[in-house]
Amino acid sequence: MELLIRNGFVFDPINNVDGEKMDIAVKDGKIVEKVNERNAKQIDVSGMVVMPGGVDIHCHIAGSEVNTGRLLRPEDHFKDFEPKTARTRSGVGHSIPSTFTTGYRYARMGYTTIMNPSMPPLEAKHTHEELNDTPMVDKGSYPLLGDWWFVLEYLSDGAIEECARYVAWMMTATKGYAIKIVNPGGLEAWSSGRNMTSLDDQVPHFGITPREILRGLCRTNRLLNLPHTIHVHTNNLGRPGNYLTALDTMKCVEDLAREDRPTIHITHCQFCAFKGSDWKNLESGAEEIANYVNAHNHVTLDMGQVIFTDTTTMTADGPFQYTLYELTGNKWVNHDVETETSSGIVPFRYRRKSYVHAIQWSIGLELALLTKDPWKIFMTTDHPNGGPFTSYPRIIAWFMSQKARKATIKKINKRARSRSLLPSIDRELSLYEIAITTRAGQAKALGLKNKGHLGIGADADLAIYNINPDTTDPSKKYKTLRRAMRNAAYTIKGGNIVNKNGEIRRHEKGTTMWLDVKVSEPVQITNDMKKRFRDYWTVEYENYPVTKHYIEASKPLTTKADV
Ligand SMILES: [Zn+2]
């Protein structure tokens, strides 16, 4: 199938294309130099914006945690449902939509690649079953490895190469894409009712500190040449004063930076940019964090923007979720995953009139607007923790329009308004910068070579939005912008039109990307290793790895390690 997309304003930052009017040619699912005009299907997109398909580096969309959230919250389904159509299945859910609906909703917004950031290795099979059922997008998942006993043991012994070989084994066994670390050491401590409060606390029983886990896995990541950096949810997340922990976390791997490449990704940074000693005097630490990131090149961030709505919080950070339960008194789930991790779920409503929630809303945007280089901070809500991913068009409007920000600031808690840095920030992002923070930057940080851009050979994943930059100023007409971003005029996945003006036109399966990490001496599955499985887990080795046939549209990416 050949396709020629004509006359659009193209925004392709990886190839330095900034709103040029040009044609894009597609053949066999890839961007090509040209096609035969007589054979190709032509779409005239005059007056519209053409971008690479959206990329989401961090959204909880699959796995036992997400599914437990669905079970916990029937009220989330009742109020938001989609009927079946000739091409799509029915589905439900405002903050935790069912799998198929998740895929459709991303496709409507022009997204084509999404990453599920929190996969307990023991529950990897469930995660992949749900990813199989999430259509329209390519996807991947990050196994939680920061509190896995094997990692703690090897790092505590200083056996970094051994640790790397086991992480390589785990990455391939779980069909994962990146090393996820949540509250390093804190989740293991939580299994005996404790937590970590600084990078130098001792993890019970293991003789190791969060600092050593972070540095060890950062070095492991480098030894294995993984495409993404370590993906870190910091210690003390969600606690006043934690911006200092976030700074410590970034600093602790500063000397491991190689050239100008990032070595650490701090996820949903809003939740770890709190200044102040308690909730009453909570303030924004966004400026301090942005200053640090502006001065260093080894860090990337994503926002974790808060949206004023009803949502469902879910993280592997069991102790944090317990605190949230204590704060809200809501129904909750807390869960310990054997030798690997923990997790928790609490329903949550962010209110404009709450001082704390309004400060949180402000912090996310402050971080994004004060960080000068859009290649360093990416748009997320940590879906569904800060709000559902369907709110992205709102955030884009706040990015591009001071007027949109003012309209919301007017409605928030008065004391929070007086403390917000937003009124003093007049920066408005351009469409080029939007293309970076919503796709190009995210694809680059993930090391996805064929995504996030429209160069020759790239995957033909595109989003076309019905907004004309020549005649419409998004900073003034931010509602028009929001509408255009909510329902893309076209979403093209692998060279096929899958969405037109919000209507799903075609079902695409989407691949699951995972890393096939090649090490020179792979971990041997000996009787001793099998015994460790029997001793440590309730699952025998034979039932543990996700075999290849488990993934319906499998896309292994081979990585050659230095060990
Ligand atoms: Zn998250």
Alpha carbon of 84 to ligand 1 centroid (Å): 30
- Confidence at residue 453, expressed as pLDDT on a 0 to 100 scale: 98
Q: Assign 3-class secondary structure to 64-121.
A: HHHHHHHHHCHHHHHCCEECCCCCCCCEECCCCCCHHHHHHHHHHCCEEEEEEEEECH
Neighbours of ion ligand 1 (CB under 5 A): 382
Whether the full predicted model's pTM is greater than 0.95, yes or no, is yes
Task: Provide the CB-side half-sphere exposure for 558 (13 A, CA).
Answer: 3
- Confidence at residue 258, expressed as pLDDT on a 0 to 100 scale: 82
DSSP code for 422? G
Residue with tokens 């995953």: 337
Four-point Cα dihedral 370, 374, 375, 377, nearest 10: 50
Alpha carbon of 57 to ligand 1 centroid (Å): 10
Q: Is 541 exposed, middle or buried (0-12, 13-18, 19+ CB in 10 A)?
A: middle
Alpha carbon of 241 to ligand 1 centroid (Å): 20
Give me the average pLDDT of each 10-residue run along the chain (563 residues). Answer: 96 98 98 95 98 98 95 96 96 98 98 97 97 98 97 97 97 98 97 95 97 98 97 98 98 91 97 97 98 97 98 95 94 92 95 98 98 98 98 98 98 98 98 98 98 98 98 98 98 98 97 98 91 90 92 97 96
Alpha carbon of 269 to ligand 1 centroid (Å): 10
Alpha carbon of 60 to ligand 1 centroid (Å): 6
- Confidence at residue 154, expressed as pLDDT on a 0 to 100 scale: 97
**Residue 178 amino acid letter:** A
Alpha carbon of 58 to ligand 1 centroid (Å): 6
Question: How far apart (Å, rounded) are the C-alpha atoms in residues 437 and 418?
Answer: 28
> Among residues 179, 199, 195, which one has the least CA distance to residue 187?
195
* DSSP H or E stretch at residue 17: strand 17-27
Alpha carbon of 522 to ligand 1 centroid (Å): 31
Question: How far apart (Å, rounded) are the C-alpha atoms in residues 358 and 306?
Answer: 9
**Residue 304 amino acid letter:** G
User: Beta-carbon neighbour count of residue 476 at 10 Å?
Assistant: 14
Alpha carbon of 182 to ligand 1 centroid (Å): 9
Alpha carbon of 59 to ligand 1 centroid (Å): 6
Is 449 within 8 Å of 228 (Cβ atoms)?
A: no
510: left (phi over 0), alpha (psi -120 to 50) or beta: left
Alpha carbon of 381 to ligand 1 centroid (Å): 9
Alpha carbon of 296 to ligand 1 centroid (Å): 24
User: Beta-carbon neighbour count of residue 156 at 10 Å?
Assistant: 18
- Confidence at residue 549, expressed as pLDDT on a 0 to 100 scale: 86
- Confidence at residue 197, expressed as pLDDT on a 0 to 100 scale: 96
Alpha carbon of 382 to ligand 1 centroid (Å): 5
Tokens of 199: 């990078």
Reduced to 3 states, what is the DSSP secondary structure of residue 560?
Answer: strand
Alpha carbon of 472 to ligand 1 centroid (Å): 35
Residue 194 to residues 188, 318, 320, 322, 323: CA-CA distances in angstroms? 8, 10, 11, 12, 12
> Among residues 243, 239, 255, 235, which one has the least CA distance to residue 292?
243
**Residue 124 amino acid letter:** A
Alpha carbon of 307 to ligand 1 centroid (Å): 15
Alpha carbon of 233 to ligand 1 centroid (Å): 8
